Amino acid sequence: MRFARLDRLLQRLWQRLQQTLQQTLQQTLWQRLWPRLWQRLWQMLQMRRLRRGIVLLGLLGAAILGALLWQRWQLTPLALPTQAEILITSSQNEPIQPIPLQVALDANKVHLGEKLFADSRLSADDRVSCLSCHRLDQGGADRQVRSLGAHGIPTQVNTPTVFNVAYNFWFSWNGKFETLEAQIEALAKSVMGMPWEQIVSKLQQLPDYVQSFGVLYTDGITLPNVIDAIAIYQRSLITPNSRFDQFLRGDYTALTVEEKEGYRLFKSYGCVSCHQGINVGGNLLQKFGEIGDYFVDRGNITPADYGRYQVTGSENDRFVFRVPSLRNVEITPPYFHDGSAKTLEDAIAIMAKYQLGHSLSPQHIRRIERFLNTLTGETPRSAS
């Protein structure tokens, strides 16, 4: 009688466990393999009446633990946690750091650099300036798939933002340059359509520039001085005090619960392994397509798609690019070096698929997007 009752109890537990795991796993593997496996296990237990209670309890615990781990690995949409559950105790422990509220730069050189930045006379056709592609009212970019340089020649890659370049470790999409000055020097011929010697010669004929450089630089208008002034101005283009930076500094009301949950997902999925630091990127080189082959799926591969391979010639650098900053990403579409992602939601889904191997739910994409929108900071003011 005692064993009969135990049999009925164990059978009910066994059936309930099967139902629970079936609802959790929902995989064809369950449908094809588990029923036969579990039937065989039950038959084996019938032969060991005295041990089966202990064995089944152990099996029950292990199966429940496995189901819970599977559920966590799947990262199925969960209810939003309460505000208290996702507060951070100190920004120093976070992978992302706030932008300084101000930077110490020579104001006169910033002013001169701004003037050069906006001067179309630095281009071969006197029609294009640095500001043409890096507009302050459009997030430091121009929101075009390809920008037009001198004589209407399109760039090979999408124009990245000039905002917060002071916090980049690598410059240009293929990471060719390690300093801002080196990048500025290289862009004269490729975008402005005129070598620096001609640009400097043209500036030396303009009285206003002769006077300004004479005051700020002892040797007047030279190539290093022109580049220095432009670089100093670009380093002034920071976007501090975003809502996320306010949150990092201790204002936990700066973000909504959904935005905080988006930040948690951003870290949980692994996005933060590449997008971290003050600039939320800009400090690493990474292959585009770590998990899947983005370029095969997209098709029409061009030399610009080879990334850092164009710099080093090493096969290890094929399709390797500088990780872009996500600061102000809300206002700088389209995305990626090829400008192929028209919306931020598209960019998140593509990155999750090809870099992390995840297919995100629309809910998770939306929450991560909400977090990324909080990285939009204050637009730099004109130095004039």
pLDDT (tens digit, 9 = 90+) per residue, 22-40?
444 444 334 444 444 445 5
Query: Does 146 share its domain with 218?
Result: yes
Residue 194 has pLDDT above 70, yes or no: yes
Length of the chain counted residue by residue: 384
Query: Does 111 share its domain with 223?
Result: yes
- Using pLDDT thresholds of 50, 70 and 90, give the confidence band for residue 54: low
Query: Does 127 share its domain with 199?
Result: yes
Q: Please tell me the predicted confidence (pLDDT) of residue 84.
A: 40
Structural domain contains residue 134: yes
Query: Does 164 share its domain with 205?
Result: yes
Structural domain contains residue 290: no
Q: Please tell me the predicted confidence (pLDDT) of residue 236.
A: 97
If you search the block for the tokens 């110490």, which residue do you land on?
104
pTM as predicted: 0.76
3-state DSSP call for residue 103?
A: coil
**Surface-to-core class of residue 184, CB atoms within 10 Å of its CB (0-12 exposed, 13-18 middle, 19+ buried):** buried
Query: Does 355 share its domain with 251?
Result: yes
Q: Please tell me the predicted confidence (pLDDT) of residue 76.
A: 44
Structural domain contains residue 384: no
Query: Does 258 share its domain with 333?
Result: yes
Q: Please tell me the predicted confidence (pLDDT) of residue 25.
A: 43
**Mean pLDDT of the region 104-122:** 96
Residue 140 has pLDDT above 50, yes or no: yes
Sequence-distant (≥ 6) Cβ neighbours of residue 358 within 8 angstroms: 75, 269, 352
Query: Does 47 share its domain with 125?
Result: no
Query: Does 130 share its domain with 11?
Result: no
Other CB atoms within 10 Å distance of the CB of residue 358: 16
Query: Does 117 share its domain with 224?
Result: yes
Q: Which of 235, 270, 304 represents a domain boundary (last residue)?
A: 235
Structural domain contains residue 212: yes
Lowest mean pLDDT among 50-59, 114-123, 226-235, 304-313: 50-59
Structural domain contains residue 95: yes
Residue 171 has pLDDT above 90, yes or no: yes
- Long-range contact pairs involving 248-256 (C-beta distance under 8 Å, separation at least 24): 248/88, 248/91, 248/94, 248/96, 248/97, 248/98, 249/91, 249/98, 250/91, 252/83, 252/87, 254/374, 255/371, 255/374, 256/370
∠18-20-24 over CA atoms, to 5°? 115
Q: CATH number, domain at 118?
A: 1.10.760.10
- Number of domains composing the chain: 3
Mean pLDDT for all residues in the chain: 84
Lowest mean pLDDT among 3-17, 104-118, 123-137, 335-349: 3-17
Query: Does 368 share its domain with 352?
Result: yes
Query: Does 208 share its domain with 267?
Result: no
Q: Please tell me the predicted confidence (pLDDT) of residue 38.
A: 47
Residue 62 domain boundaries: 2-74
Structural domain contains residue 316: no
Structural domain contains residue 311: no
Query: Does 122 share its domain with 177?
Result: yes
Q: Please tell me the predicted confidence (pLDDT) of residue 88.
A: 54
Structural domain contains residue 271: yes
